[in-house]
Amino acid sequence: MTQSTSTDTPASAPPTPKPKSTSARAAATVGLIAGVFSGLFVVLAFPPVGFFWASWAIGVPPTVLAWWLSERAMGGKRAHAAALLALGMGTLPSWLYLHAFMANVTSVGYPLHQLYMAFWVVLYTFLAARVFRRRSIPAWALGIALAVLWTGVEYLRAEVFLGGYGFFLAGHPTIDFWTMLPMANPASTLGLFFISFLTVLPAMGIVASWRARNPRAALAALALTALGSLIGMLNAPKTYDIPVRLAMVQTNLPQDNKIGWATFERLRDLTRWLALSGEASSFKPDLIAWPETMFPGEYLDASARRVQEREGIAYSVRVPEGLLNSAEPPPSRVPATYFAQRLLDLQRSLNIPMIVGGIGVENLRYSPRTNAQGQVVGVLPAFDAKYNSAFLIQRGEVSSDRYDKVRLTSFGEMIPVAWRFPAVQQWLVNLGAQGLAFDLTSGARATKFAIPVTGGSQSINVITPICFEMTFPDTCRWLANQTQGQLIVNLSNDGWFGDKPVGRRAHLTVCRWRAAELGIPIARSVNTGISALIDHRGAVVKMGVDPQPGSSAAESERVEGVLTGVLTISGETGRSTIYAKVGDVWGWICLFAGAGLSLWPLRRKAAPTTNTSAAA
């Protein structure tokens, strides 16, 4: 009997649907919308608007776009590129607004910097799309992975790439939220970048749950956020019981005036600021401070002044027409040391220590300056090094220990990489910001100033990070650890921000985070404002200059005056917080983990194999 056999084809799994592709135009539209909303949340979160809750949503638009790209634009490289390009373009209006002050400083650098800022949002989105495609990440952990990636990209921008730019980070606007809470700030344990992680984490978890149609990712993110919010409690309690009376002089010298600071204007400003310091003495402060580089003379160093005296260096005084209102005209020439001598005389009469921002030099010397005919028409100064410095004046003398700024501002005081070649650096400066001279040298050591307080019965260690050094957590941490600092006096020149309030308020916000991280109070003396007193938790105790007679409230910006008040510091020295001990370990973890999650090759699906067997 012949038996018929039938061959049945085994049932196979239904084919996986390919991701839907989309046109480049549609992708660009979606990317543009995401960019506009991303930028809008940044503007809303930061002062002067200051809706800090908007910072929790800053990462949502680019993250949703990354999800959309991973699902719809796979294989469509043109659509993918169009969406990312449009995303960056969509963020530009917000960056142009937030950095509007740069337009008056560098017409070339202003638009280039905004493209630079847009790049980081694009980079995060590109990498996040790869994270969405990585199927090995458990669904519940996807939101955490995205928050790690976001924080890693922020850390790369703020601390690593081209010297770092630490403004407008996701965690910055939340400082008021954390200071309202009764518990210790988590930044005191793992720093600002952990705050950025906690800020974006809940929204990332919600997006991940939305994608998975499962609440586990959101619940995991919220649970980790709640747990992370408590880690500040790991710090040992510390007593703050030493009151320090402070007087911060706030000058109001526009930056364009400072660049072309004529001798007559220097004399006029010196007289006014000496008068402000004299008025401040009525508060009986333990310390008076002047802002960054606001000493109107050339040099405060004793050695430099001796050279000027020996060489007979003097300035001609030309009074602009219509400005001579005094019955006694100023002298036609003043010795170069005149400015320093008047300041020293005032300090001696007040008998109050003063910290003053000025220019420090090493090995000052002069050589003849000749005209085209070879005639000597003046002298030219030269030195081995020039610094942005803070000087301590006590008992009518300038202390031999000065602080020289150790971390120069990228593109403000030096150009990364190009600084190694001074001629190339100056050529680039002339191209982008004519009139500026990038001739400063970085300081090499941490310096502390011992300031007597409580009637001279004890002294405290004061450190003086200058201007943008406050935007670098690792720099402030290093200074505090090296000196056992108990009080930070931040000297700054925020005249660069012109009439735009955004930059000044953002700078103040950044400073508040340094106080929270290190557990060290901060006093700010700032040209054009905002001078402030900040406690060890990052809360503003007082800001703006004291009200003048007839004024009902203190003014904070673009006004001269004195800010007086009391900060309570700790008598305990050493590394006062866990963050002071471990530094930005969380930033580095997120940087490397984010790189691994996004850049490690995606696992390719194995090609199907066909097994054939012969039956006899």
Question: What CATH number is given to the structural domain containing 280?
Answer: 3.60.110.10
The verdict on 189 and 335 lying in the same domain is no
Domain assignment of residue 192, yes or no? yes
pLDDT bin (cut points 50, 70, 90) of residue 319 is: confident
Note whether 283 and 299 are same-domain residues: yes
**In the prediction, which pLDDT does 196 show?**
98
Q: Residue 8: is its pLDDT beyond 50?
A: no
Q: Is residue 52 part of a domain?
A: yes
Q: Is 182 exposed, middle or buried (0-12, 13-18, 19+ CB in 10 A)?
A: exposed
Task: Check whether 9 has a pLDDT greater than 60.
Answer: no
Among 35-44, 142-151, 495-504, where is mean pLDDT lowest?
A: 495-504
Higher pLDDT among residues 71 and 360, named by residue: 360
At residue 324, the pLDDT reads 58
Q: Name, of 14-28, 94-108, 172-186, the range with top average pLDDT.
A: 172-186
Give the pLDDT mean for 234-248: 93
- State the average pLDDT over residues 172-198: 96
Tens of pLDDT, residue by residue over 246-279, are 999 999 998 765 567 888 889 999 999 999 999 9
pLDDT in tens, 126-153: 999 999 998 889 999 999 999 999 999 9
**What mean pLDDT do residues 298-326 have?**
83
pLDDT value at position 438?
Answer: 76
Would 2 be classed as within a structural domain? no
- Same domain assignment for residues 188 and 288: no
Instruction: Please check whether residues 398 and 481 belong to one and the same domain.
Output: yes
Q: CB of 60 within 8 A of CB of 45?
A: no
E strand residue ranges, 216-352: 242-250, 287-289, 314-316, 333-335
- Tell me: pLDDT of 604 over 80: no
541 lies in the same domain as 398: yes
Query: So what's the pLDDT on residue 16?
Result: 52
Q: Are residues 348 and 404 in the same domain?
A: yes
More confident residue, 233 or 412: 233
Q: Quick one: 230 and 250 in the same domain?
A: no
SS3 labels along 381-423:
EECCEEEEEEEEEECCEECCCCEECCCCCECCCECCCHHHCHH
The mean pLDDT value for 588-600 works out to: 93
H, E, C per residue of 195-235: HHHHHHHHHHHHHHHHHHCCCHHHHHHHHHHHHHCCHHHHC
| Pairwise pLDDT comparison (25 vs 289), residue with the higher score | 289
How do strand 403-404 and strand 385-394 relate by DSSP bridges?
antiparallel
pLDDT at residue 280, as a whole number: 94
- Residues 152 and 246 grouped into a single domain: no
Class of residue 283 by CB neighbours under 10 A (exposed 0-12, middle 13-18, buried 19+):
middle
Do 67 and 35 belong to one domain?
yes
- Of the pLDDT bands very low, low, confident and very high (cuts 50, 70, 90), residue 455 is confident
Number of structural domains the chain divides into: 2
Q: What pLDDT is stored for residue 310 in this prediction? A: 92
pLDDT of 83 reads: 94
Q: Is the pLDDT of residue 17 over 70?
A: no
| Helix, coil or strand: residue 83 | helix
How far is Cα 515 from Cα 511, in angstroms, rounded to an integer?
Answer: 7
What average pLDDT is seen over the chain? Answer: 88
Tell me the average pLDDT across 175-184: 94
pLDDT greater than 80 at residue 291: yes
Residue 437 lies in a domain: no
Average pLDDT over residues 572-601: 91
Going by pLDDT thresholds of 50, 70 and 90, the confidence category of residue 340 is very high
What is each CA distance from 396 to 343, 345, 461, 491, in whole angstroms? 8, 6, 20, 21
Q: What percent of the chain has pLDDT over 70?
A: 87
For the segment 443-450, the average pLDDT, to the nearest whole number, is 94
Residue 72 lies in a domain: yes
In a domain, 434, yes or no: no
Q: Is the same domain home to 403 and 512? A: yes
pLDDT at 95: 96
Is-contact 469 524, C-beta < 8 A?
A: no
Q: Reply yes or no on whether the pLDDT at 22 is more than 90.
A: no
Mean pLDDT of 543-569: 84
Res 440 pLDDT > 80: yes
Residue 219: domain span: 24-236+585-599
Q: What is the pLDDT of residue 601?
A: 74
> Is residue 80 domain-shared with residue 102, that is, in the same domain?
yes
Domain assignment present for 276: yes
Say whether pLDDT at 498 is over 80. yes
Q: What is the rounded end-to-end Cα distance, in angstroms, of the chain?
A: 18
Asked whether residue 614 is domain-assigned, the answer is no
CA distance 288 to 59: 42
pLDDT > 70? residue 208:
yes
How many helices (H) does the chain have, and how many strands (E)? 18, 17
φ and ψ of 496, to 5 deg: -60, -25
Q: Tokens at residue 51, please?
A: 């809706």
The predicted structure's pLDDT at residue 12 = 45
Based on the fold, state whether residues 90 and 188 are members of the same structural domain. Answer: yes
pLDDT of residue 109: 84
**207, pLDDT greater than 90:** yes
